[in-house]
Structure formats: C-alpha cells, structure tokens
Amino acid sequence: MEYRGAVLDVDGTVVRGDEPIPGAPDGVRRLRSAGVEPLFVSNNPSKAPPAYVRRLSRAGYDVDVDHVVTAGTVSTAYLERHHPDDSIYLVGETGLARQLREVGLSLSSDPSVADVVVVSLDREFDYEELCAVQWALEDDDVRFYGTDPDVVIPAAERNVPGSGALINAVVDVTGRQPDAVFGKPNEPTRRAIFERFDYDPGDCFVVGDRLDTDIALGNEAGMTTVLVRTGVTDAEALANAEIQPDYVLDSLAGIDRVLDGDS
C-alpha cells in the first residue's frame, strides 16, 4: 500500500524528555523519502506548537508549526468556538493559560463565577484547588472539560501522572463525567488532524506508544495503526488489551516494515 500521511505521537514515540528516541529521527527521514507527510500530534496541552518546533528541532527533527497539533491547540480552538464570552476556571499550567488568553478567552481565578471548568496537566495541583473545582461543578450549568485523557505520560527519567489523573480525581469527588475531553483519541483531535491532512484516512497511518489514545485514534478514524515499544505500553499490557494495533515495532526505526506492507 502507498501511504500519504503519518500521524506521529511525540512523547514516547519520537522523544523522551528532550532526547530523541534512538533510531526515530532516521525513521522520520525514511517517511519523507517515501513521500509520506508526517504530522506530529501530542496530548501534552502545556506547550504551543512553536515550543514543540524548538524542542523537536533540538532533538534532530525537521518540523514547522503547521505540522504540529497538540491537546492545547485543540482545546483552545474548541473553547474559542463554543465559549468565546464565558468565564473559564482553568486547572492547568502557564503554557496552556497563555494559549487561551492569546485568542481572547477570559480566565478567572474565582470558581464561583465560572461558566466553564477546564482540567489539564498541572504539576502544582493541590487539595485547595480540588475543592475549588468541586464547588464550581456543583452548578450543573457549568461545563466541565478535560484537555486530554492521558493518566500517565513518559518523562525524561520515568513515567509521571498526566492530565487524565487530575480529571479522574475531579470525577471522583464531583460524580460528574467531563462534557468532552479534547485530546487523542477523541473527535476534536481527529477533526484537527484532517483539517491539516487533505488525505483519506485509509491513506494514512498513526504511530504511537499508547493503545487507548494513539491506536484508538487510528481505529476510530480508519487509519492503519502502529504501536512502538518505546513508551508506556509493555508486553503484558499489549497481550491483555482489547485494542490491538496493526503493527508492533520496537521503535520508529523499523517503519520500513509498515511502508513495505510487511505484516
């Protein structure tokens, strides 16, 4: 099969921390030489595309802002479209707050006036903030959103809690499920991908280290799916999972197997 586009996860797939995963830069170059356009898609909401360009460039990847989609950009676009005049109470880091403010969205530190609560990665999240979110969501008219579902994310030294862990804490204390979660594998991110890719999903594949986000994204969109063993999914998790990829590679360095259709 001749592919035209490749959706590439970032953390655990092409980099860990700021370092390239061995062989992955060569894998991306191999994609380009085969005429496949890479799109880097991350569930990290805290960095805007220009920051990703700098990070990936330092790691040896040739990328521009038009080929980066993040949970932050998807969340910002959704909120700008559906809640342009609402007051937003954000559990999140300064990078996400900056993205929201840059498009004119209004953030409030007072949960009592919130129209919308957004829960995201926040390494300073504490009991006091959990109380504030609980009180804000006692009003059923306040909308509740999560930026992405990643409970655990690959970091430089070892895996750490992600946005999904904070979202789950809020769900536990409020009894409310989010009205929407924006990152992979959910529809807002799928839409953002194919706003960038003018390709049929059947002409694309997705490469990632997570079954519940990357592989689920590909399955739901109709793309070929490729799991790499360089991130959070180990052999036991793969063997016991309901979601299964079309290909399993040790790393992105083995992408020729997908390009050649060698199952």
Residues 57-67: tens digit of each pLDDT: 999 999 999 99
Short-list 217, 242, 214, CA closest to 229: 214
- 170 and 95 within one domain: yes
Q: What pLDDT score was predicted for residue 49? A: 94
Please tell me whether residues 114 and 155 are part of one structural domain.
yes
CA nearest to 170, candidates 134, 136, 143, 132? 134
Q: Are residues 153 and 96 in the same domain?
A: yes
Residue pair 45/120 in contact by the 8 Å Cβ criterion: yes
Please indicate, yes or no, if residue 189 is contained in any of the structural domains.
yes
> Which stretch of DSSP H or E encloses residue 102?
helix 94-102
Q: Where are the beta strands (DSSP E) in 113-229?
A: 116-119, 143-146, 152-154, 159-161, 180-181, 204-208, 224-228
Task: Write out the H or E segment, with its range, that includes residue 168.
Answer: helix 163-174
Residues sharing a CB contact under 8 Å with residue 86, sequence separation 6 or more, in sequence order: 106, 115, 116, 143
Among residues 181, 205, 236, which one ends one of the domains? 181
What is the reported pLDDT for 35?
Answer: 97
Instruction: Report the Cα–Cα distance between both ends of the chain, in Å, rounded.
Output: 12
The pTM assigned to this predicted structure is 0.92
Phi, then psi, of 29 in degrees rounded to 5: -65, -35
CA distance 223 to 31: 16
206 and 248 in a single domain? The answer is yes
Residue at a domain's end among 181, 214, 235: 181
Q: Which amino acid is at 131?
A: C
What CATH code is carried by the domain that includes residue 27?
3.40.50.1000
Confirm whether 12 is domain-assigned: yes
Do 38 and 100 share a structural domain?
no
User: Is residue 162, in this structure, part of any structural domain at all?
Assistant: yes
What is the sign of the dihedral through the CA atoms of 136, 138, 142 and 146?
positive
Catalytic choice (11, 148, 150, 214): 11
Q: Which SS3 state, helix, strand or coil, does residue 69 take?
A: strand
Task: Give the pLDDT of the chain (263 residues) as one tens digit per residue.
Answer: 799 999 999 999 999 989 999 999 999 999 999 999 999 999 999 999 999 999 999 999 999 999 999 999 999 999 999 999 999 999 999 999 999 999 999 999 999 999 999 999 999 999 999 999 999 999 999 999 999 999 988 777 788 899 999 999 999 999 999 999 999 999 999 999 999 999 999 999 999 999 999 999 999 999 999 999 999 898 999 999 999 999 999 999 999 999 998 76
Q: Are residues 216 and 130 located together in one domain of the fold?
A: no
The answer to whether residue 200 is catalytic is no
Domain span at 16: 5-43+184-259
Count of domains forming the chain: 2
Q: 228, 28 in Cβ contact below 8 A? A: no
Distance from C-alpha of 87 to C-alpha of 141, rounded to nearest angstrom: 13
Instruction: Give the model's pLDDT for residue 17.
Output: 87
User: How far, in Å, CA of 62 to CA of 21, rounded?
Assistant: 15
State which of 127, 147, 181 marks the end of a domain.
181
Residue 9 annotated in active site: yes
Is 57 a domain residue? no
pLDDT at 69: 97
- Alpha-carbon span 4 to 203, nearest angstrom: 6
Residues 175, 196 share a domain: no
Residues 166 and 223 in one domain: no
Are 252 and 229 contained in the same domain?
Answer: yes
Task: Tell me, yes or no, whether 101 and 172 share the same domain.
Answer: yes
- Whether 150 and 161 share a structural domain: yes
- Give the tens place of pLDDT for each residue, 189-237: 999 999 999 999 999 999 999 999 999 999 999 999 999 999 989 899 9
